[in-house]
Amino acid sequence: MSTRVSKKARNLFAAALLTALCACQDHHWVPVEKMGPLPPPGITALPETAPAPAPAPYSAATPASPMAPAAAPPHGQAPSIPPDTLLFAGVAELGSGAQGDFGGYALYIIARKEGERMPLAAIKRTGMTLPYSFTITGADIMMTAPDQTARYRLEARLDKDGSIDTRHPEDLMGMGTETFPLGATNTRVILAPVPKS
């Protein structure tokens, strides 16, 4: 009798368990193809990840715009010229009326475009002997840009105190009687005492 009751109890327990399993699957069943990866042991669920963004629609590359020409140098600033570019070469020498000891003087040689006051280039030399062979190069350019088609006049000053901003009765001046193009190598400036006014 006890064996028969025990078997009946087992049958009732199995029926109840089957009913509970069916009810749980009815609420939480998920198709296999929609299941994500299983969490590692000890973790109840994996964190949700945002879906990958959709690829951007294809678009042809925008053609590059042509390179703009280089901007002109600011007003009053000379363009970039290699410093070793020869502008003028020549000789500065004393005229027949110039006499004295000029060892402590400074020699300035200035190139100006014909008809203009603004210098193109200038050099200063000290400790030289006369006649003095000089060169003016791109490194000596001041503020104005050189004009390849223009002609230039050279002038010189032998300054006693070494300052171009001051005048001294013993200073010597010289101005070329000819004009020269850029690159001339046969220039000549003759220095003479400044006439007394």
CATH of the domain at 123: 2.60.40
Q: Name which of 96, 122, 103, 87 is nearest 160 in CA terms.
A: 103
Q: Tell me which residue has tokens 């009913």.
A: 19
In a domain, 147, yes or no: yes
In a domain, 8, yes or no: no
Is pLDDT of 107 > 80? Answer: yes
- The pLDDT score that the predictor gives to residue 55 is 58
In a domain, 37, yes or no: no
Please indicate, yes or no, whether the overall pTM of this predicted structure exceeds 0.75.
Answer: no
> What is d(CA 130, CA 107) in angstroms, rounded to the nearest whole number?
10
How many structural domains compose the chain? 1
Bridge partners for 46 per DSSP: none
In a domain, 161, yes or no: yes
> What is d(CA 40, CA 34) in angstroms, rounded to the nearest whole number?
18
In a domain, 118, yes or no: yes
Domain boundaries, position 164: 86-193
Is pLDDT of 182 > 90? Answer: yes
In a domain, 36, yes or no: no
> What is d(CA 188, CA 106) in angstroms, rounded to the nearest whole number?
18
pLDDT digits (tens, 9 = 90+) for 154-179: 999 999 988 888 888 889 999 888 99
Is pLDDT of 19 > 70? Answer: no
137 contacts: CB under 8 Å, gap ≥ 6:
83, 84, 85, 86, 87, 121
**For all residues of the chain together, what is the average pLDDT?**
76
In a domain, 121, yes or no: yes
- The pLDDT score that the predictor gives to residue 146 is 92
Band of residue 27 on the pLDDT scale cut at 50, 70, 90:
very low
In a domain, 180, yes or no: yes
